[in-house]
Amino acid sequence: MDALDRVVKPKTKRAKRFLEKREPKLNENTKNAMLIRGGNANLTVTEVLKDIYAVKKPFAVLYKRKNITRPFEDQTSLEFFSKKSDCSLFLFGSHNKKRPNNLIIGRMFDYHVLDMIELGVEKFVSLKDIKNSKCPEGTKPMLIFAGDMFDVNEEYRRLKSLLIDFFRGPTVPSIRLAGLEYVLHFTAVDGKIYMRSYKVLLKKSGCKIPRIELEEMGPSLDLVMRRTHLASDDLYKLSLKQPKGLKPKKKKNISHDAFGTTYGQIHMQKQDLSKLQTRKMKGLRKRPAEKSAEDGGATPKKSKSA
């Protein structure tokens, strides 16, 4: 048995709870993101990381010291960070001559890198460069992807999935309609990806649905795709697999047709129609003689005399 084979046994209740929180669960928790500053990151990249951190805030960790690592060459330190902070999304920022203003966005499955996509920042407008009101922390953004590239190209498709995973935040059963005030808009044109974030202003339109006006809020980025590291098909399929327990249990004897009509099969006992209560009328009322005959009809009143 080597060191990795050993079973980690918590010594205190608190440690046990901590480990339980990290165990695989049927219903998973919201994915956390770690934003890692590379060994040589310039101002732009650092600002990008800070801004994304502000957008992601309660579900993100910012590693702002120098981390000398290259995710495309060696993923072990990323995996270590992932295990340490229990994060499965990462954004790594670096800058060098060959790949200036470099961002690597990726996700993990079971603490191992699943997908990574390298993006170059061509233009960046920070949150604080635009002087207007911002959204409160932890607002769930509306995500919009525009452009046929996101459906045609496999790498773009994976990037779309990655971005949705990264920015969607917690899954919620309901949402306050007036609280929809943040939009992240991704447009793919000409090999570039324009990421824009807007604040939503709901205007009166005269009918129930409001008219939307947008106001640029930042951060906004112009990105180009560089290297990619996509998971193999079978690994990706494995990661997509949902456990059986999550599926709702099928109810017996209920079926639906194509139009959504519900059909049910009901098993009933045969109704005794002779005892059916119909309309009460004076003419239908039983006479006293009939009534007494019915009471003792089955067993004649011989026993009384006996």
The single residue among 19, 238, 254, 293 that binds other proteins, judged by CB under 8 A, is: 238
When asked if residue 306 is in the footprint of other proteins (CB under 8 A), the reply is: no
Q: To the nearest whole angstrom, how small is the minimum distance from the Cβ of residue 280 to other proteins?
A: 44
When asked if residue 141 is in the footprint of other proteins (CB under 8 A), the reply is: yes
- What character string, x for contact with other proteins (CB under 8 A) and - otherwise, covers 66-95? ----------------------x-------
The single residue among 151, 155, 294, 295 that binds other proteins, judged by CB under 8 A, is: 151
Are the C-beta atoms of residues 148 and 187 closer than 8 Å to each other?
no
For CA atoms 178, 33, 121, 156, the dihedral sign is negative
**Rounded CA separation 83/259 (Å):** 47
One-letter amino acid at 233 equals: D
Which is closer to other proteins, CB of 41 or CB of 91?
91
The single residue among 13, 133, 240, 251 that binds other proteins, judged by CB under 8 A, is: 240
The single residue among 12, 65, 133, 234 that binds other proteins, judged by CB under 8 A, is: 234
Residues 103-122 that bind other proteins (CB under 8 A): 107-114
The single residue among 129, 137, 148, 290 that binds other proteins, judged by CB under 8 A, is: 148
Which is closer to other proteins, CB of 46 or CB of 180?
180
Which is closer to other proteins, CB of 30 or CB of 40?
30
- What character string, x for contact with other proteins (CB under 8 A) and - otherwise, covers 177-216? xxxx--x-x-x-xx---x-x-x-x-x--xxxxxxxxxx-x
What is the biggest distance separating any 2 CA atoms in the chain, rounded to whole angstroms?
Answer: 119
CA 284 to each of CA 160, 161, 271, 290: distance values in angstroms, whole numbers, following the listed order: 77, 75, 22, 12
The single residue among 12, 13, 14, 24 that binds other proteins, judged by CB under 8 A, is: 24
Cis peptide bond N-terminal to 219, omega within 30? yes
Which is closer to other proteins, CB of 172 or CB of 273?
172
In 3D space, the residue among 162, 13, 186, 171 whose CA is nearest the CA of residue 88 turns out to be 162
| Residue range at the interface with other proteins (CB under 8 A); choices 11-19, 148-156, 252-260, 271-279 | 148-156
Q: To the nearest whole angstrom, how small is the minimum distance from the Cβ of residue 64 to other proteins?
A: 24
3-state DSSP assignment of residue 62: strand
The single residue among 29, 40, 76, 255 that binds other proteins, judged by CB under 8 A, is: 29
Element (H, E) at 102: strand 102-109
Which is closer to other proteins, CB of 209 or CB of 258?
209
CA 301 to each of CA 115, 159, 286, 290, 291: distance values in angstroms, whole numbers, following the listed order: 91, 91, 20, 15, 14
Q: To the nearest whole angstrom, how small is the minimum distance from the Cβ of residue 181 to other proteins?
A: 11
CA 79 to each of CA 9, 83, 90, 107, 166: distance values in angstroms, whole numbers, following the listed order: 22, 6, 10, 10, 17
Number of residues located near other proteins, criterion CB under 8 A: 81
Which is closer to other proteins, CB of 246 or CB of 281?
246
CA 256 to each of CA 9, 95, 263: distance values in angstroms, whole numbers, following the listed order: 49, 57, 6
**Rounded CA separation 157/150 (Å):** 5
When asked if residue 219 is in the footprint of other proteins (CB under 8 A), the reply is: no
Residue the block writes with tokens 């949705």: 164
